[in-house]
Structure 1
Amino acid sequence: MSKFKALEKALNYQFRRDDLITEALTHKSYKKPYNNERLEFLGDAVLDLIVGEYLFNKFPKENEGLLSKIRASLVNEKGFAKLALDINLGKCLLISSAEENNCGRTKPSLLSNAFEAIIGAIYLESDLQTASRVAVDLIEDGYETIDLNSLSKDFKTTLQELTQAEFGETPTYKMVRAFGPDHKKEFEISIELQHKVIATAIGRSKKEAQQKSAEIALKKLQGVE
């Protein structure tokens, strides 16, 4: 049984080669004969193609300029670090004690690189179609809406970056309740930071409630309210 079972479940993909997933999660600081830099290089190219094709099919009437802007909002360190945080990738990283003490498990650069390496490993072990399925599912689960306007207002990612920088940890989202009839259900989500509830919001979906609560938390932490 793979020691990365929780990660494989989050990816909805089971690795056949333990050495490949181990390499994808190994940072160069871990002092092994291998690290994830080569797989990161491959994954970067694969993700660029996957996201390009995804947007090409999703927006058949949009021009090249807008598609490029949307892709740029997804294919970058911030975007990949967000997806990595969504699947708790940081917990699986193989890093040195120095990186551990330097909040390496929540560092955007390490998370982004490991995410690219994981997709590169899936592509290498299976095929482009499988890697695309995994990546696109994570993107669609991670964003309420895929368009330039919504991507520029991703409060969850901004909150994660702020709390990492100021507190060395990321916020925890918890379901408070779900209520209303099935055809018109609403969800209440709270955000906890340092064992305290810092924001609560209601939305028509869990993702919407998370974004709303993240926006409220950001305003509080930035002293806007």
Structure 2
Amino acid sequence: MLGWKSHVRSRLQQRDQTEKLPFTGVFTCLSETQERFEFRNQILEEIHPKSLEKVGVEDGRQTRLLHLHLKESEHLAEKLSQTVSDLTAVLYLKEAEIQYWQSRVSHYHKEALRLAKGSNSLKSTLSEYEFTVECQSKELETLKKEQERLKEALVQVQRENDQLLQRWMDRKREEAYRVNEYNNKQERWHQVLRYIKKHKEMDKPAVPELMPCLTGTTQKSSSANHHQSA
């Protein structure tokens, strides 16, 4: 899209250089010559021929030429005066414009200095923030490592706690088993005692028959007590 625009612009510039620019001075010169010709015709029409009848032909021609040059000089002087007046007005405008732009330049210069100071302040603040961020990043890395170490320690503590809990439960289970065994033995012993008490008033021969059972039970109870105390 931009390629054909550039091509058209270059072709137009080439046409201006070949067709317009070489004749710019010619057109200006032709315009000035035409203006001068019209002005001379106007002056010649203003000069009355009868006023020159009393003088000779040659003197009349010279008089007309002098009058023509005088009028042209006056016209050129008026044009130059007008041109000087226009240029003076333009000069005043340009001076005012220059003063305005100088004030704008001074304002922008002060603004640039202020922005430069602000930029330097922002750069220093940015450097401080970067240093703070760097320190915080290092501290964060240290905290992450410490967190990982604490996590590992926590996992180890939990593992040890589970192991201790398992050993405690095993021990309590063993104690419960021993207590149950002891309670069972005590129950059997009480049953034997009740049996003996029940048959106490029975015949004496029945007592020796119970002695082997009682003796075996007593030995078992003593061995159980000895194992429990161990």
TM-score for both structures, normalised by structure 1: 0.16
TM-score (norm 2): 0.16
Q: Which has the higher contact order (CA 8 A, sep 6+)?
A: 1
Q: Which structure has the highest helix share of the two?
A: 2
More strand by percentage: 1
